[in-house]
Amino acid sequence: MIRKSKYSADSIRELLEKLNPVDVLEELGIDPESIKRNDNGFIAPCPAHSNGADVTLVYEDDKKNVYCREFKCPASKVTGGGGDIAWLYALVKQTSYDTSLEIWSKHTGVPLKPAKDEDEVIKHCDDFIYAEIARYNRSSDDNSFIPAQFGFENQQAVNGRGVVIQVNNIEDFVNRYKVDLFQSRFYYELNSWQSITEAYNSGTLYMLSNYFIVFEAKSSAEIVHAINQAIEIVEFLRLTYDIPLDAINIMYSGKRIEIEIDYSIFGITPKINLHKYFSLMTRKIAELAASEEGNGNDQFSQINYRVYAFDSLTQIPGSAIAEGKGIHKILLPYNVFKKTNYVRLYEMSQKRPHFSIPKSLDIRSATASEFFGKITSEIEGTDEDERDLVATTFYQKREPEEYDNLSAFAPQLLQRFFSEKRSVIVTPSKHLNYLLGGGFQPGSLSIIAGFPGSGTTSFCLWCANYVARYHNIPCVFITMQQGIEEIYVKSLSQIGSIPSQELTTRRNDPGSLKRDDAFNRSLMASYETYQEFSQNVTVIEGSVSTDEDFLRKLLIELRKRYKARGESNTIFVVLDSLQLLLANINAGHTERQIDMNVLTSRIKSLARELDISILATNEYLLDYHHFYPTSDISNKVIVRFYQDTQFADVVCFLVSQDRSLTNIIKYFQINYSRPSHRKEVDEIVAKLTELEKQLREGKRVNELASCFTVLEVIKNRGGKRGKVLFIQERSISNFIPLEYRDPESNSEII
């Protein structure tokens, strides 16, 4: 893996080819005798975490890649680590990647060449280590700021500001002058105010900063409102963009509240005019966070947008401020700020706290990064947001006289039907796509029923992971049968072909993760693959509070989040299962009991309103091994099932056939016995017989507990009925589509 650098990729590759990784590890204090070679490279003690005696570092010869197996280590792929050997040296020595390259370039004699195109040079966050500092005194008359002369190192301030120092020297600056101290909100790679100003005026100034939002109160009476607004917007950010609490800090100073979020969470990189990005981010966030019951953007009326300026300064925590004598700026973790009332905040601000700069977490949230990417696209001139025709035209609450004839909506309907952001969701099975008219349709409700243990949950998860991975479509998996951890482990098992039982066994013996090189590589490969698309997967673990109202609010919020990403209006939702959702609703609302028929009608209505595809599971309590239950309409259970699912667009049964296809072969031979069918039926039977033989002779059949499974489409408003065949690999919750006939055939045999 080659990290972003100001040097050309070719010269970095040349350096890594020449560089002996053992030499680097020895320089980092690792005894060469402790390094153990294997077929793929070697393993060694890791120098990146405290217990360097653990042989957890893996070096791969083919990829020139190194990572640590200890999940909590900063060199672990789980914590965002992993890279080439020069990256590891930079991590351990706490220097920049480019500095590490330069050190080893001298050691090996391999020259480093700058990137050919200067416009493509990527600025490194590690190089942004300078900040402007300032100092102001107060007027004795009106307490206003007066520029104070001061000097630091070899620089002398002009008009109270203009001195630029390294960030790690700010503590010395604070200890020298104590009060009324300021620093720039942004960091620079330039070390003088003159060069910074010149670069800004020429449009070439790169800036870096943690993301921030500032709330201001004009009077003491407004400060409580500002506190509430800050908490509300932080909660929105935390839930919508998966921001960990320890990445959020609050700075409070009398009438000003500043929210600061580590830049790594949003994947913020050095940008020209970064303040404009932040201003647009805040306006978008305020708009999205404003609830329907609120006052729109006025709900966050105390946000100060003037702070998003190139030359904006902020008081340094611990420094007294202008709002009142003896009031200091305090820095608090968000969870502490949220639990502290206004009176206590005021008391704390009267005591000068110890100065400290929060350490960068180097953790990225996929959803937050995508939001910043969308802002970047808008600033740098890409597509405008597409208007949501469904929400604005068809599902707004209107009075009866406001309805019009179809011609008034014809242009919107045509645009909506052909919208590229409103796509049919394609499944991994060609035959199933054929039956469904291309795949799961927008605004549709599909139900997969099955006997308990038939694999309905695994099938839906398999579909969701496929859609998220190969079509980049957001998927929401609402599970009420299994926990979020079980769903995650099933996904790893599915993606990496690692039996779930083996994962459970390894869990009971964590040390085996470090000892077994082959298993560790498989697990890490599965983890990395899942990380590539898991930003498209949201798993919600249902609880007793989950009812149709919760479901509606949840999906509206998630749809709002995905809409902010700006990629697609299409969302694929899995609801597992209808019975448990119904039980939760009736247990929590004893005064208004509903049945399955009512529930499916409401879920279908929700799918249409939000224009999303919903796939729900339903446990069928008969051991169903037949085809087409319509042949037995005297069965009251089957009749009731049809009544319960009448609002669904598609209804399927998932039927296990063990390792035999006798049932489906007999079905075709009995039901299609006319001479005109003979040739095609013979071809189908021959293909099914061959598939049966291949499964039984396959090497993985016993290892993965494989069997045949038929997805029986028994109801389909938008297409045909039929049988879709799969190999179900039960040990890894995986399905392999089998095409036993041409799905594009015009034959009546389906």
- CATH 3.90.920 range(s) for the chain read 125-377
Integer Cα distance of 209 and 123 in angstroms: 13
- Which contacts (CB < 8 Å, 24+ apart) does range 56-59 have? 56/514, 57/25, 58/517, 58/520, 58/521, 59/21, 59/85
Q: Are strands 613-619 and 572-576 parallel, antiparallel or unpaired?
A: parallel
- CATH 3.90.580.10 range(s) for the chain read 9-120
Cis peptide before 219 (omega within 30 of 0): no
Name the amino acid, one letter, at 485. E
Q: What's the pLDDT score for residue 687?
A: 92
Nearest to 613 by CA among 573, 553, 578: 573
Q: Which two tokens stand for residue 398?
A: 């209107």
> Do 327 and 320 form a contact (C-beta atoms < 8 A)?
yes
Q: What's the pLDDT score for residue 456?
A: 94
Q: Which two tokens stand for residue 424?
A: 């049919």
> Do 74 and 92 form a contact (C-beta atoms < 8 A)?
no
Q: What's the pLDDT score for residue 628?
A: 46
Nearest to 463 by CA among 511, 510, 425: 425
Integer Cα distance of 710 and 654 in angstroms: 6
**Average pLDDT per run of 10 along the chain, which is 750 residues long?**
70 92 93 90 88 82 87 77 88 86 93 67 78 84 76 84 90 85 92 84 85 88 87 90 89 89 91 90 86 55 87 85 69 87 82 74 82 78 40 53 59 64 86 91 92 91 94 89 90 93 87 83 90 88 72 77 64 90 81 85 87 89 50 64 86 89 87 83 91 88 91 84 92 93 60
Phi, psi dihedral angles at 69 (to 5 degrees): -80, -15
Which residues, in sequence order, are CB contacts of 274 under 8 Å at separation 6+? 186, 206, 207, 208, 209, 268
Handedness of CA 299, 303, 305, 308 (dihedral sign): negative
Nearest to 1 by CA among 80, 73, 85: 85
> Do 152 and 47 form a contact (C-beta atoms < 8 A)?
no
Residue for token digits 């769903």?
A: 487
- CATH 3.40.50.300 range(s) for the chain read 430-649
Nearest to 313 by CA among 552, 136, 548: 136
DSSP-derived 3-state class of residue 181: strand
Residue for token digits 């470090």?
A: 514
Q: Which two tokens stand for residue 160?
A: 């109270």
Q: What's the pLDDT score for residue 708?
A: 93
Q: What's the pLDDT score for residue 309?
A: 84
| CATH fold of the domain at 9-120 | DNA Primase; Chain A (3.90.580)
For 169-189, b/e burial (b = at least 16 CB within 10 A) is ebeebbeebebbbbbbbbbbb
> Do 131 and 167 form a contact (C-beta atoms < 8 A)?
yes
Integer Cα distance of 25 and 238 in angstroms: 39
Give this prediction's pTM: 0.60
pLDDT tens track for 602-641: 899 888 888 889 999 998 765 544 444 444 555 677 777 7
| CATH fold of the domain at 430-649 | Rossmann fold (3.40.50)
Q: Which two tokens stand for residue 326?
A: 């003896």
Phi, psi dihedral angles at 151 (to 5 degrees): -135, 150
Residue-wise DSSP of 581-642: HHHHHHHH-TTS---HHHHHHHHHHHHHHHT-EEEEEEE--S---SS-GGGGTT-HHHHHHH
Residue-wise DSSP of 646-688: TT-SEEEEEEE-TT--HHHHHHHHHH--SGGGHHHHHHHHHHH
- Count of positions (residues) in the chain: 750
Residue-wise DSSP of 381-443: T-PPPPP-HIIIIISS---GGG---GGGTHHHHHHHHT-TTS--B--S-HHHHHHTTSSBPTT
Phi-psi region of 143 (alpha: psi -120 to 50; beta: other; left: phi over 0): left
Residue-wise DSSP of 692-722: HHHHHH-TTTTTTTEEEEEEEEEEETTS--E
Integer Cα distance of 138 and 319 in angstroms: 13
Give the 3-state secondary structure percentages of the chain, helix then strand then coil, rounded to 5: 45, 20, 40
| Candidate CATH numbers 2.60.120, 3.90.920, 3.90.1310, 2.60.450; the one for domain 125-377 | 3.90.920
Exposed/middle/buried for residue 301 (C-beta within 10 Å: 0-12, 13-18, 19+):
middle
Question: Element (H or E) spanning 196, and its range?
Answer: helix 193-201
Question: Element (H or E) spanning 47, and its range?
Answer: none
Phi-psi region of 312 (alpha: psi -120 to 50; beta: other; left: phi over 0): beta
Q: Give 330's DSSP letter.
A: E
Q: What's the pLDDT score for residue 418?
A: 66
> Do 280 and 378 form a contact (C-beta atoms < 8 A)?
yes
Q: What's the pLDDT score for residue 608?
A: 86
Q: What's the pLDDT score for residue 627?
A: 47
H helices then E strands: how many in the chain?
Answer: 25, 26
Phi, psi dihedral angles at 291 (to 5 degrees): -75, 165
